[in-house]
Amino acid sequence: MHRRWLILGVLFVARTAMGFQYQTVGSVASMLGTELHVGFAEIGTLIGLYHISGVFLSLPGGLIIRRIGDKNLCAVGLALMASGGVVMSLSDGYGVAFAGRLASGMGATLFNLVLTKMTADWFARREIVLAMAVILSTWPFGIALGLFTEPRIADAFGWRFVMLLAGGICLLSLLLVALCYRTPPDEQTHSDADPQPFGLPPLRVLAPVIAAGAMWGSFNAGFVAYFSFVPSFLADSGRITLAQAGALTSLALWFGMVSIPFGGYVVQRIGRPDATIVLFCTLAASALALIAAGVPPLFACIAFGVAIGPSPGVITSLPARVLAPAQRASGFGVFYTCHFLLQASGPAVAGWIHDTAGGGAAVLSAPQCS
């Protein structure tokens, strides 16, 4: 018991580092654009690079986990994240920054994949929903930490130090994983009994994993669409400024930091995971409908942040319910491939709806459907 909670704590720190690094470009966008002589289109490309490799690397990463080992692949991912941060801190042109950000994103994809498997291996038979919810809460926590600290650090020491600091935290996380992580005994037994490193689970097992990946991808596509389009929708109403709209929209992030692990704990205690997904995804969609209908945004944004809490831990724990220990590596590779396909395409679809259907109210229908 002591070992698995220690490992969860180490993985919590490491995934927080991933969220912190993701936010670096957005936090220093103006400084970065001025020094590298690029516009916001290029800055947006750098932000998106952190996730785009997930479409191409998730499945190969899942297939090779059992050949090189969880801990080794985790180290590779964190090392790429750290080196990418160093490259960005040394960049003197957009091409070098592009390469550094792409390296960080590739590392983050591999790290996120193997971290999910590590969590499932240690908690598959006990508190899996709670453990997944705790891990998932690190993403908004890391981003919020970056939003609060990175602009101040950049003002004091320059944007390059922010990139270097993020890379250094990833390196520290690598050392913690190397010192603290161990393969659970039952997983080691299964690995020894089944030495085949490649291959996908049978279709009867893979079908529900694909469904779960589609659920997680559509959930995140709706979440990204919320942060991408709600601020402009609120500002376009003329009642508040864009800065005020951004602050209101961010309330969902702060409430989500609490509601995700707390929701996971409650679901772990009471059960009924399927009903939880249906109920709280419906409530989240209803909160978006309230925003589109003109309900005071303070209430609607808080309601959205609370409603998104219980579902993530449940959804990401679904593959562990059908995947045997020997199937988890490739199974989670398929899960994240489906996830990244939908998450990457969701904002583009929402933008197309915005342009063709007449503005922000139509856009809010896309994450409702997701």
End residue of a domain, out of 159, 174, 193: 193
End residue of a domain, out of 168, 193, 218: 193
102 and 167 assigned to the same domain: yes
Residue range 35-47, pLDDT digits in tens? 888 876 787 778 7
Give yes or no for residue 196 having a pLDDT over 50. no
Total number of domains in the chain? 2
> Mean pLDDT highest for which of 140-154, 155-169, 260-274?
155-169
- DSSP string across 155-181: HHH-HHHHHHHHHHHHHHHHHHHHHH-
Take residue 283 and report the two structure tokens written for it.
């409530």
Residue range 256-310, pLDDT digits in tens? 888 888 888 888 777 788 888 899 999 998 888 888 787 888 888 899 989 988 8
pLDDT at site 328: 81
Cβ contact 232:123 at 8 Å: no
Give yes or no for residue 59 having a pLDDT over 90. no
Give yes or no for residue 62 having a pLDDT over 70. yes
252 and 357 assigned to the same domain: yes
Give yes or no for residue 193 having a pLDDT over 60. no
In a domain, 198, yes or no: no
138 and 43 assigned to the same domain: yes
14 and 49 assigned to the same domain: yes
Q: What letter represents residue 78's amino acid?
A: L
Cβ contact 96:83 at 8 Å: no
218 and 158 assigned to the same domain: no
> Stretch 312-323: mean pLDDT, rounded?
86
In a domain, 9, yes or no: yes
Cα–Cα distance for residue pair 49/108, rounded to 1 Å: 11
120 and 248 assigned to the same domain: no
Work out the mean pLDDT of the chain and round it to a whole number: 81
End residue of a domain, out of 158, 193, 228: 193
Report the predicted TM-score, pTM, of the whole model to 2 decimal places. Answer: 0.76
Cβ contact 208:322 at 8 Å: yes
> Stretch 125-139: mean pLDDT, rounded?
82
Q: Which domain holds residue 267?
A: 203-369
At which residue do the structure tokens 């079908």 appear?
A: 207
**Cα angle 297-303-308, degrees, rounded to a multiple of 5:** 125
Cα–Cα distance for residue pair 53/213, rounded to 1 Å: 16
Take residue 245 and report the two structure tokens written for it.
């709209």
242 and 173 assigned to the same domain: no
Take residue 332 and report the two structure tokens written for it.
């989670």
pLDDT band, residue 357 (cuts 50/70/90): low
Q: List CB contacts of 29: < 8 A, sequence separation 6 or more.
A: 40, 43
269 and 126 assigned to the same domain: no
pLDDT at site 364: 56
